[in-house]
Structure 1
Amino acid sequence: MRLGQTSVVYLVSKFGGSILGFFATIYFTRTLGEEIYGFYAVTLALVSWLGIVKSVGFGQAIVKRMSEEEEPDAFLAAGTAVKTALTLVVALGVLVFRGQVNAYVGQPVAEFVVLLLVVSILSGLVNSALKGSHRVHVYAPLSTAKQGIQSVVMVGLVYVGWELSGMLLGHAIGAALIAAVGLWFVKPAFVVPRWRHVASLFEFAKFSWLGSIQKKTFSDMDILVLGLFVPSGLTGIYAVAYALSEFLDIFSNAIRNTLFPELSKRAADDDDDMIRMLTNDALSYAGLFLIPGIVGGTILGDRLLRIYGDGFAVGARVLPILLVGVLAYSYAKQLLNTLNGIDRPDLAFRANAAFIGSNLVLNLVLVYSIGWVGAAIATATSAGVGLLFGFYYTRQHVSFTIPTGEIARQWVAALLMGGVVYAARYLGEANWAWIADYNAVFVVGLVGLGAVVYFAILFGISTEFRTTVANNLPFEIPYLRDHGDR
């Protein structure tokens, strides 16, 4: 597997951004409590879903057409025109129905929803342009910078007493500033698009729009449904647990974002062998962080969530379920990434439809019947449905193989790591309980120990992993290349 320096830059950058977000979230939850954080989570989920209406898949379509390197500026201009018009319609609808919006969230946030929608169009267009022009190595650091600026501004506004308003305004300011910087990197030429550019985008977007809904369904559908049936405090706890599980999906996203432009280019060149190899590699490493995360989250979930405040420890009930769901979803995303890359968004559409339908029905039924844990079960189950459909459709066109050996070795390393971490937790609790407020340091130590043990074991038992590490290091370690440079 040769992800190259681009995926490494993406991974490190996103990791840095997530760490900043992690500490900012701790400040918000400890300062404002789970209820206000629940209002914040529901508001962002609402903005996210309204954002689908104003985009209808054109973001991914812009990436696809620009990555084909034919008239990229014209396709960017066409996408900008369409998304601007749709955003204005959606924003007007929010203002007209501001009373219903405020009643649903539980706070007067309609104007902030409009602001976030407007900012999101610029941010989304710039991100699409960076990815479509093969500048993922630029997009990733900017994404980290956005999270950093958002965190700093949000913390500052909350500190001076703006509470929920400060969080929402800071979120918008950070996104707007980084979008402006990204636009400078893109430097698009002014081009008046023709109808054929719009039609070409629509030809792809008419199927890929459901892919956008798939992503939002997985990350936000449960939050929206929880907003209907459970107190905002539980919604806030659930949102924090989901954020932790999503944090471990960073490496999978690095693979997917790095490979899509390459898959698209290889498909245009009819390079079937490379498409097969890239798909195999993506599946081999999509669970590299998530598999040990499931084991570690099961063992340490209560202590990890207690860092956000004592009331968040109950989130350990849903964290392992969410982690399993994210793992299934991660594999599914790699397969759908291949389908979109080979210009078969129609098949990705069908797989997404199965996932979205099952997610919506299960969330409504399970949350209503058994409460907030039902949201996690619905998310994990629907992710499994999406994975099955993604596998079926991708296998029809790409002769990839399931890397069972490599995945099994990752599970072996994770389970052995779990034994070490469990023993360390038992001994630590028996001997450190007399120390006040030791939880945060204790958890960080256990997580660090687990990471070292997991990667040390995997490095020892997996020839493929050793070769992958050697191939992507900026310096040569010849004895690591057991199978040579692929």
Structure 2
Amino acid sequence: MANNYWLKSGFLNILQSLTNVLFGFGGFYMLVRVLDKNQFGAWTLFMTTTSILEVIRNGLIGNALVKFLSGAKPEEKTPIITASVTISASLSVFCVLLNLIFSHFLSVMWHTPELEPMFYVHNITFLLSGVLAIFNSVEQAHLAFNGVFITTFIRQAVLFLFILVCFITKFTIPLAYLVYIQIVAVVIATLIGYSYARKHLTLDRQLHKEWISKLFHFGKYTFGTSVSSILSGTIDQMMLGAMLSPVASGAFNVAVRITNLIEIPTNSIATIVFPQSAKRAQEGLDGVRYLYEKSVGTILALVIPAIIFLYLFSDLIVNIIAGGKYDDSIPLLKITLLYCIFVPFGRQFGIVIDSIGKTKLTFSVVVFSACLNIAMNYFLISSQGVMGAARATLVSSFIGFIIGQVILYKELKVNVLHPFVYAFRFYPEFYHQYIKPRLKKA
């Protein structure tokens, strides 16, 4: 049963991450050719901002719902889901108000007036995606991923197909049209998500204050962690847009998009590890330590060859993917690739520390890293321009890595070298378990 879970969920999550990146990357490939540099920079800033709003809402309730619902007794499931919906709805209203208040300010700060109506219209997508997030979390808590995969696929595919048609027909895309298509996509995905989650969905009219309190107090730290984490990953682009121009933000985004290709294993394994880590935490810390070292090692085995390849052929890859007008992204890519090596350690650090109930610790580390990243970006962008943003993120990522490993050693006796050992062992293990038997059959 355990092997079946890992194989099936692993396949679905890797496939989901792969399709996400391919659709996102394919859309990016066409957008950089359809839009001028200023439009693409504006779209980058819009997507960055709306992603932060999604994390603000989902960060508080996502992991908390999965953690409590996956180990709940049958009579506890209805109160947990009801409490989760209550918190999610409240946060959605709060984030919509934030959007309405700051939309004009952001459009002025980034010298892009067309962003303001786009932010207003996006509120429709935001409210529907909150409902979809509940459906997906409920399904994930029951160790099922089919609906999560299909709904994510639909949201990506609809937008991708629209961009593809515009690219083929050479239609000049008004940025507002992209926002309208997002609404269509999330409506379809939400209906499909409900069909998968409805057998597990039970609600009542009580507030269930006890569960609201439990979910909130667990989620408040993962919420802070999620917000701080996405700020660390996006603040450089937002500050470039404000301190330099949307064009600078777009150039940096080109480098980030390429490095996203090698984050497929990290995102996929993180989704699988959290429910398993939460269960292993009840069995003892040795199992959690092994899970961390093994999962990071597996990710490293997959991403290190990709990092080396992209670094060696960065000039060619940028020109093929983004065209000749983004040559200024080449030196940025070489730096962003370097801090990709620290991403698996940091992502799995948050997963395992949260799973053993020390969400406050994760929160403190990520907030510190985010603040450090913001401060370094401010000073280095001021003195070095676009390159300063990449260098600031590299240095703050390394410092965050050191802090995380010290904490993991103290809490779980994690050895920083063991993931590299597992990474080295991955190749012969993969060959003997998967390749060799198929060669014999062939």
State whether TM-score is above 0.5. yes
Residue identity opposite 2:208 in structure 1: R
What secondary structure, in the 3-state scheme, does the structure 1 residue paired with 2:411 have? coil
Q: Deviation per CA, 1:416-440, whole angstroms, max 9, x where unpaired? A: xxxxxxxxxxxxxxxxxxxxxxxxx
Tell me which residue corresponds to 2:312: 299
Tell me which residue corresponds to 1:260: 274
Cα 1:161–1:465, aligned 2, differ >3 Å: closer, same or farther?
A: same
Cα 1:374–1:72, aligned 2, differ >3 Å: closer, same or farther?
A: farther
More helix by share: 2
Residue 117 of structure 1: CA displacement? 2.7
Cα 1:99–1:347, aligned 2, differ >3 Å: closer, same or farther?
A: closer
Cα 1:125–1:335, aligned 2, differ >3 Å: closer, same or farther?
A: same
1:171 and 2:182 aligned: yes
Cα distance between partner residues in 2 of 1:385 and 1:66: 35
Residue 132 of structure 1: CA displacement? 2.4
Residue 211 of structure 1: CA displacement? 1.6
Cα distance between partner residues in 1 of 2:343 and 2:302: 14
Cα distance between partner residues in 1 of 2:102 and 2:285: 50
Tell me which residue corresponds to 2:287: 274
Residue identity opposite 2:84 in structure 1: G
Cα distance between partner residues in 2 of 1:73 and 1:180: 21
Tell me which residue corresponds to 2:100: 95
Q: Which moved more, 1:221-230 or 1:132-141?
A: 132-141
Cα 1:87–1:390, aligned 2, differ >3 Å: closer, same or farther?
A: same
Cα distance between partner residues in 2 of 1:407 and 1:395: 16
1:19 and 2:22 aligned: yes
Tell me which residue corresponds to 1:189: 202
1:360 and 2:374 aligned: yes
Cα 1:250–1:84, aligned 2, differ >3 Å: closer, same or farther?
A: same
What secondary structure, in the 3-state scheme, does the structure 1 residue paired with 2:35 have? helix
Give the structure-1-normalised TM-score: 0.80
Cα distance between partner residues in 2 of 1:41 and 1:184: 33
1:327 and 2:352 aligned: no
Residue 138 of structure 1: CA displacement? 4.2
Identity %: 17
Which of 1 and 2 has higher RCO (CA within 8 Å, sep 6+)? 2
Q: Deviation per CA, 1:146-204, whole angstroms, max 9, x where unpaired? A: 21222113444676544211222223432332233122211112234511110110120
1:466 and 2:428 aligned: yes
Cα distance between partner residues in 2 of 1:58 and 1:79: 6
What secondary structure, in the 3-state scheme, does the structure 2 residue paired with 1:396 have? helix
1:118 and 2:132 aligned: no
Matches within 5 A, 1:53-68: 53-55=56-58, 57-68=60-71
What secondary structure, in the 3-state scheme, does the structure 2 residue paired with 1:248 have? helix
Matches within 5 A, 1:105-144: 105=110, 106=112, 107=114, 108=116, 109-136=118-145, 138-144=147-153
Cα distance between partner residues in 1 of 2:422 and 2:345: 17
Tell me which residue corresponds to 1:43: 46
Kept in 2, the 8 Å contact 1:305–1:316? The answer is yes
Tell me which residue corresponds to 2:35: 32
Residue identity opposite 1:104 in structure 2: M
Unaligned runs of 5+ in 2: none
Tell me which residue corresponds to 1:431: none
Tell me which residue corresponds to 2:80: 75
Residue 311 of structure 1: CA displacement? 0.9
Kept in 2, the 8 Å contact 1:18–1:144? The answer is no
Kept in 1, the 8 Å contact 2:281–2:287? The answer is no
Q: Which of residues 155, 159, 174 in structure 2 aligns to 1:150?
A: 159
Residue 30 of structure 1: CA displacement? 0.5
Residue identity opposite 2:27 in structure 1: A
Cα 1:214–1:96, aligned 2, differ >3 Å: closer, same or farther?
A: closer
Cα distance between partner residues in 2 of 1:111 and 1:36: 18
Q: Deviation per CA, 1:73-111, whole angstroms, max 9, x where unpaired? A: 432321221221222233234334443233234123331
Q: Which moved more, 1:237-246 or 1:289-298?
A: 289-298
Q: Which of residues 218, 226, 232 in structure 2 aligns to 1:212?
A: 226
Kept in 1, the 8 Å contact 2:136–2:197? The answer is no
Residue identity opposite 2:289 in structure 1: R
Kept in 2, the 8 Å contact 1:28–1:155? The answer is no
Cα distance between partner residues in 2 of 1:239 and 1:230: 14
Give the structure-2-normalised TM-score: 0.87
What secondary structure, in the 3-state scheme, does the structure 2 residue paired with 1:318 have? helix
Tell me which residue corresponds to 1:372: 386
Kept in 1, the 8 Å contact 2:139–2:197? The answer is yes
Residue 36 of structure 1: CA displacement? 0.9
Cα 1:321–1:409, aligned 2, differ >3 Å: closer, same or farther?
A: farther
What secondary structure, in the 3-state scheme, does the structure 1 residue paired with 2:414 have? coil
Q: Which of residues 318, 331, 334 in structure 2 aligns to 1:317?
A: 331
Kept in 2, the 8 Å contact 1:157–1:163? The answer is no
Cα 1:120–1:378, aligned 2, differ >3 Å: closer, same or farther?
A: farther
